Amino acid sequence: MSISTIAVVCTGNICRSPMGEVVLRDRFAEAGLDVDVVSSGVSAEEVGNPIDPRAADALSSRGYDVPRRTARWVGDTNDVDADLVLAMTERHRDALLRRGADPERTRLWMEFVPGASGRDVADPWFGDRNGFDETLDLVEAGAERIVEAVRDSR
């Protein structure tokens, strides 16, 4: 199956999944691939809130354009129908499957991170700015393999 839509999902859609969305959009543009990338959260608690300032700072410090955006709840979207749904944790993946996401198209971000020792991208929200840099490291590492998977799907 050709991948033309990707949804990245975390808890509240203010840290991990928007970072994944921004990085993937950048990587697909660099690769010349037309892929629609969105993100949302399994919880509605942050709906309408902007990206966490620490996430925005981590992204902009590495040269990414940080869009003006607000958090979205997966329950208000059709994100589970994307060609590839990328969950940041196993808990997120389980929540997506309960919402009807196709198990074959719903994967963990960490599956694409070379040499990953864990299955979850840890939530940086509870820590300091360094945690956001660590999250961005994992996001960038996974993005390269995700681009390869999309290229291979065509």
Task: Write out the catalytic residue numbers.
Answer: 10, 16, 123
Q: Which two structure tokens, joined as six digits, stand for 154?
A: 């065509």
CA–CA separation, 17 and 20 (whole Å): 5
CA–CA separation, 103 and 7 (whole Å): 14
Q: Which residue has the tokens 């958090």?
A: 71
CA–CA separation, 1 and 44 (whole Å): 31
Residue 75 amino acid letter: G
- Residue 50 backbone dihedrals phi, psi, to 5 degrees: -75, 170
